[in-house]
Structure 1
Amino acid sequence: MPTSSTGTGDNTVTSTTLSTANNIDSPVVVVSGDKLIIAYGEGNNIKYRTSGDGGDSLSKAMTLDSSAKYPYIFFDGTTVSAIVTKYNGKIGPGMPLAEIKGTFELNGEAFQIKSTSSKAMDGIINADNVAGGCSVLGADKYFGSGKTIRTAAGAGIGIGNSRQIPLSEVGGNIELILEAKEITGDLNVSGWGWDLKKDSRQTTKGNNDVIKIDKNGSIFKTSEAAEKSESYSITANGKITGISSSPTVGNNTRDASIATDGKGNIYTLTIEDGGLIFRKFKTSITEGTIK
């Protein structure tokens, strides 16, 4: 992995080229303290790398899922839950989504996601669905049969009770949020289930966007920002807001992810002319263009 450093002091930028393959998509960087996960699509595979020292060193590439796209990753430094889109997201027998759960563990010199379970998300558990049978996340109920749906790719919002998943109809106009709920009462089921967040189902005109969620639970679209992290956001073309210099990251950036560690560092993962590039720099950087 070629790594370079430019600038001095608060203008220092460390850049690492992770891949120059032409089939990379869905960059995701998530941070908890000094622990970091980088994930991305490579064809129909999801690859990931890890760091335990704030991104100063990175592991080799490992496989998170060999038949999925669009990783949406919840990470608290110890546990990992990734919601991924399977089988091209087609509603039907293939089950469009799966949840991969694991722990973030040190294995030799590098951290890895030790998977504890991987299963199709095969039903929204709620009173009006259980009695009549629930198929494919209730997606046929909320989107319609035969539609293609996908989750967002990015950092999951919340851990535990506040966990939410944004879903979008591919090439369509329906969007909604699922949220994790603890099932109680007389439904003859127990544990955690996914349910439609109240009033979250929306129909929009000409929607070609994927919806995402900010830390306050508000919906935004990929045409507005590729990702938001605390008071910072990055657009698909690499423009960062929340920094006084409003820098642009990368060279002809086409997709991007951003994360912050609460200690004055920003991490970006971008797809651009040079490939898949990971960068670390200060929130106080004054550069107008970061390459």
Structure 2
Amino acid sequence: MDIYNDNERFISILSDYGFKVTFGNETDTTFLKKALQALISSNLSIREIKFFKNEISAITVDSRSGIYDIACVDENGNHFIVEMQLSEYPEFIQRMKFYALHRFNTMVKKGAYKFENLPKIYCIGILAKNIFPLIEDYHNIAVLRNHKNEIIDNQMTFVTLELSKFTKQLFDIQTDLDKLIYTMKNLHTVTDTSQFPTFWDEEWLKKAIHEVDLRAMTAEQKLAYEMAISANALAVKNENKKIEEIRLADKKEAIKKALKYGKLSIEEIADYNNISIDFVLAVQNETSNI
């Protein structure tokens, strides 16, 4: 999913900057309130949203992926944690559990370890890649249920949105959730307002679109956007370097084991591990010097 385009008119909402100025817009929460309502499939409008920061460890700017996370609470005390994930992350649900349980523990501690009348926690994950390959639905809401599918507890709710599974065409868009997903996936590909679907004139989406319209940005906003792109590029470079270091470390361990068993030749070890003979020899030399 290409979220940066040199010829773009609109910045992708999935980008660092785009997510921050739409979902994370603390000045005007019109878009966020409607988006949250759609994501949790609620018939009740959210009237107020208040952001809170630095209360949940790791709910900050992720320097590795450059994605902004959001933590906020509505007028009824319901807590929302929203996390974006663009790269592959099969264990993403475990991270969501960590965030939700951290917030739960914070609530209990502040309440002098009382468990009654706790506000709800909605942990929402918006993912560019799939994490549930065996589930067809792109939007899933999960609470604690028994073997008969009866609700045991819904104080903590996990919501996942897998964008790559959403394949609806414009003529199929009906719900606010569909409108939200379609906008997130397609806005940055539009170059002219004449291409706008009619629902992009709805107030909540109109405000979000305005925030990522390059032609409507001030010089300071454009500078912030350019800095976000630069920071993201550096973060991706550093992340790829870490991934490569981990990959090579795994290769070294595999080579060491193969050398120890002595059943394969140097050439066979290199071929099996898809690395050079020189790399195998270097590991062999390193091992012999220990």
How does the TM-score come out when normalised to structure 2? Answer: 0.28
Larger % of helix: which? 2
Q: Which has the higher contact order (CA 8 A, sep 6+)?
A: 2
How does the TM-score come out when normalised to structure 1? Answer: 0.28
Larger % of strand: which? 1
| Rg (Cα) greater in structure | 2
